[in-house]
Every structure is written in C-alpha cells, then in structure tokens.
C-alpha cells in the first residue's frame, strides 16, 4: 500500500472541500476501498474519513416522503431496523443477505451502492475496459461472471450491489453533495456504462459524495428480491432479480422489474414489465415475464448459463412478491 495523507472532518462541507483535491477519495466502511489500495488498483494520495460526519447517519421513515437512509448507515443497521420490517421488509432481507456479519457491520449503504466492480480484469489493474493488443480481454478471455445484458460494448463488467436492483425498482432517489451544492437524481440514472477509458461507472464528479438515499413510499406495492449464488452464504451473487408490483387483486396494474449482476448497470427489464401490465399474475405469466426479461441477452463465450439464471430469478421474484411461493 502506498503512503497517503489522512483527514477526518466532522462537517460535510469540510469533507467536500478536501475531496475536491486531486487524488483524494472518501473512506466510509473501507471494506472495498482498502482491498483495492492493497492491490494498488486504487492509489489515493489522501483518504478523507467520513465516519465522524453525523449528518450522514440515520434512518428516517415518513409516510408521505418515504424512507431516507444516510449514506453511513451500515448494512447491518439497515437489515436490523425494526421500522423496515413492515413496508420495506424485502429491503431489510436483501441487506441481511449481503456478505457475512463482519462485512455487514462495517460496510455502509453509500459504499455498497458505490462499490467498484468485482471483475477480475479490473481488480488486477487492467481497468474497467480492459484491452490487450487492441482487443477486449473480456470477450477474448475468461468471462464466466460478466454481463449478458447491456454488453454491446465496450463495458462488460457487472454492477456488484445486490441491494441496488430493489432500490431502483422502488424508484429511489440519491442525494449528492459537492462544491456546487446538493443535487438529487434517480438512482437508476446514477449508474452508467463507461464508453471510454478513465470514465467511472457512477455519476459522481470531483469532490462529490453520496449523502443519503430516499426510497419512495411502498404505497401498497408488493416487493421481492431473489438472488442466485453458487453457495448460500459468503458468496457473490451471480444474478439478482428485484420486483415492485402494484396489484388490483391478482391483476398487475404496474410493474418494475430490475436485474443485478447481469449488466454494467442495474438493468430495467421493460419487456418483462410490458408482459405483466394489466394481466393476472400466475405461474404461467411469471414464466413469460422471465422469458421476456432475457429477450435481448447477448451471452459471451463462457457465461450463457446466466441467461437461465436471470430467467428463473425473475420468475421466482414475481411469485414471491405475489405470495405464491417459488
């Protein structure tokens, strides 16, 4: 690990000013950043500790405005919060499945949403768009865990957060602070697939940090998130499907279906949503929605299995949201 400066501000404005300097990066839980620094994938000249900024903490539930979660709320706090066990139980459950208890106790919501891809080319220092001799190292090499959607190029990594798909399905907004003040945007738009070397996968400018997220009121919607892993615990998800359904009895009046770990961004399945719209949800319809979700999939040489994982994950998330079991 290379030498670096360390700053620990207590006010948000101080942190933003410090982060505006080239080479400065924010430190929250550190569960991802410190590993990247040890591998010299990230080589910051200054770490700006955010843990002493009280304004970045807390979970607040307002029946009208929705759920506001501070960026420094830990994943464990999110999973254990009793207020979430009513309308937002699916979110608490998804948080409870993140990594293991040691990681959940230090990892933060903001850090989870901003974590870097697990792509082994990126983690070995080849960048988000790895090339060798002018050819993509992903398409030419081992791509077992890479994208099958939104991978037309050049990005083929997958977004790593398993809570982001459900938050996108819920219509979450993210609040970002920077030198020019505060701005808000849909979480769905916060993620982007880089087109050129040096571009990041999050819409954050110099000195900007995520301060909180606001989750829209559930308003009677039925929620579910389904993950597929090689092992039950302490493993990265291979595919996640999250759904938020408005229903009139058994009929779906509005649906949001979002996939994770299958594209460089949380992938909104508009074809699957169209299949569900206005129809009675049963196992046959869930199957059709699963098929529609992967209609545009373009698997690489070694990850075709992910098409079936995505198809089944959508089906099972829909059935779970409707209370029909899986």
The CA–CA distances, whole Å, from 81 to 78, 95, 96, 108, 109 equal 6, 11, 11, 14, 13
Question: What is the pTM assigned to this prediction?
Answer: 0.97
Higher-pLDDT residue of 223, 233: 223
- What would the pLDDT profile of 31-82 be if each residue is shown by its tens digit? 999 999 999 999 999 999 999 999 999 999 998 889 999 999 999 999 999 9
Looking at every residue in the chain, the average pLDDT score rounds to: 96
Task: Please provide the DSSP assignment of 158-206 as one string.
Answer: ----SSHHHHHHTT-EEEEEETTEEEEEEHHHHB----STT--SB---T
Task: Specify the CATH class of 54-115+159-215 in words.
Answer: alpha beta
Q: Residue 15's Cα: distance from chain center in Å? A: 24
Alpha carbons 323 and 326: distance in angstroms, whole number: 9
Query: Are the CB atoms for 88 and 59 separated by under 8 Å?
Result: no
The CATH number of the domain covering residues in 222-321? 3.30.390.50
Q: What is the mean pLDDT of residues 117-138?
A: 96
Residue 191 scores a pLDDT above 90: yes
Question: Tell me, what's the pLDDT at 47?
Answer: 98
- What would the pLDDT profile of 134-188 be if each residue is shown by its tens digit? 999 999 999 999 999 999 989 999 999 999 999 999 999 999 999 999 999 999 9
Question: Tell me, what's the pLDDT at 1?
Answer: 83
Portion of the chain with pLDDT greater than 90, in percent: 92
Question: Tell me, what's the pLDDT at 206?
Answer: 87
Residue 325 scores a pLDDT above 90: no
Residue 106 scores a pLDDT above 90: yes
Question: Tell me, what's the pLDDT at 92?
Answer: 97
Question: Tell me, what's the pLDDT at 34?
Answer: 95
**Domain layout of the chain by residue ranges:** 54-115+159-215, 222-321
Alpha carbons 75 and 72: distance in angstroms, whole number: 9
């Amino acid at each position: 690990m290379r030498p670096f400066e360390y700053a620990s501000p207590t006010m948000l404005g101080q942190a933003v000013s410090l982060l505006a300097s080239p080479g400065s990066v924010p430190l929250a839980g550190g569960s991802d950043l410190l590993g990247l620094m040890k591998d010299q994938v990230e080589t910051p000249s200054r770490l700006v500790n955010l843990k002493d900024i009280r304004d970045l903490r807390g979970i607040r539930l307002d029946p009208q405005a929705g759920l506001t979660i501070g960026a420094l709320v830990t994943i464990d706090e999110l999973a254990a919060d009793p207020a979430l066990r009513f309308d937002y139980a699916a979110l608490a459950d998804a948080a409870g499945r993140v990594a293991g208890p040691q990681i959940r106790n230090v990892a933060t919501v903001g850090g989870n949403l901003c974590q870097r891809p697990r792509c082994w080319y990126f983690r070995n220092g080849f960048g988000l768009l790895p090339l060798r001799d002018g050819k993509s190292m992903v398409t030419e090499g081992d791509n077992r865990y890479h994208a099958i959607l939104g991978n037309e190029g050049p990005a083929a990594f997958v977004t790593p957060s398993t809570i982001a798909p459900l938050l996108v399905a819920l219509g979450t907004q993210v609040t970002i602070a920077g030198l020019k003040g505060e701005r808000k945007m849909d979480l769905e738009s916060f993620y982007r697939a880089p087109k050129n070397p040096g571009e990041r996968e999050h819409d954050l400018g110099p000195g900007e940090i995520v301060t909180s997220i606001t989750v829209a009121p559930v308003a009677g919607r039925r929620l579910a998130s389904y993950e597929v892993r090689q092992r039950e615990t302490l493993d990265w998800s291979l595919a996640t499907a999250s759904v938020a359904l408005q229903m009139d009895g058994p009929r779906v009046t509005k649906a949001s279906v979002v996939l994770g770990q299958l594209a460089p961004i949380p992938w909104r399945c508009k074809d699957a949503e169209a299949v569900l719209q206005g129809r009675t949800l049963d196992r046959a319809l869930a199957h059709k929605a699963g098929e529609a979700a992967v209609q545009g999939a373009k698997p690489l040489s070694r990850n075709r299995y992910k098409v079936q994982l995505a198809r089944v994950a959508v089906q099972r998330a829909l059935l779970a949201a409707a209370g029909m079991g899986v």
